[in-house]
Amino acid sequence: MKDKVVLITGSAQGIGKAIALKFAKEGSKIALNDISFQEENLKKTKEEIEKLGTEAKYYLADVTKYEEVEKMIKEIEKDFQRLDVLVNNAGIIKDRTLAKMTPKEWQDVIDVDLTGVFNCTKAALPLIIANQGNIISISSVVGQRGNFGQTNYAAAKAGIIGFTKSLAKEVGRFGVRVNAIAPGFIETKMVESVPEEIKIMVKKLTALGRFGKPEEVANLVYFLASDNASFITGAIINIDGGLSI
């Protein structure tokens, strides 16, 4: 993956940042993305990547707005002249039972977690096809199993699974691979907000008895992007410590 150009959405912190650092360590050039209030974190991530000896730029764009995404992709093409890998990582949660969920809480999660994947993939696809690159999206075990209080999140993450399988069939003839991964509970700020009793219960249900680390997710994303996964497309790979078995 040396000198390949990789765009990771939602990469100011958490899993997205870990993915960016993994690719950077392997010599890839990194296009970071997040929304404007994350600019300081993006700058810090960019500096960490540059210390690893590779090139990085960051782009402020809201993945829910196609015009902003399209502008970002044009800037990446201008800055790097290519794009080899798109990692659709940006996501939010707004948990509430359906009976109490507002239409806005539903739509906000669908807009970021699912429509954001459409927007970024649609805008980036010509560049990805031109370089026979690949697309990796972050789904979730919740999209496979459902979860109490997460109908919006589960619907969005399940949508990514269907999107991935369908797109893989469409673009395989161009030599483009499309995959998704389904993490379980990973040690991020998002999981920090989960009540302690829920965390204890989840660990008991997880075969390995612990939460995953962002770096473990990053390792899987890197593998799927590399030539080591050259015959894998349309796959949904769980990385959940055995939570889904």
Active site residues: 153
Check: CB of residue 39 under 8 Å from CB of residue 60.
Answer: yes
Distance CA 58, CA 9 (A): 10
- 45 contacts 53 by C-beta, under 8 angstroms: no
Rounded to 10 degrees, the C-alpha dihedral 180/185/188/190 comes to: 90
Neighbour order of strands in the sheet with 56-60: 56-60, 29-34, 5-8, 85-88, 134-138, 177-183, 236-239
Going 98 to 214 to 20 to 32, the CA torsion angle's sign is positive
Round to whole Å and give the CA distance between 162 and 79: 32
Here the tokens at position 21 are 């650092």
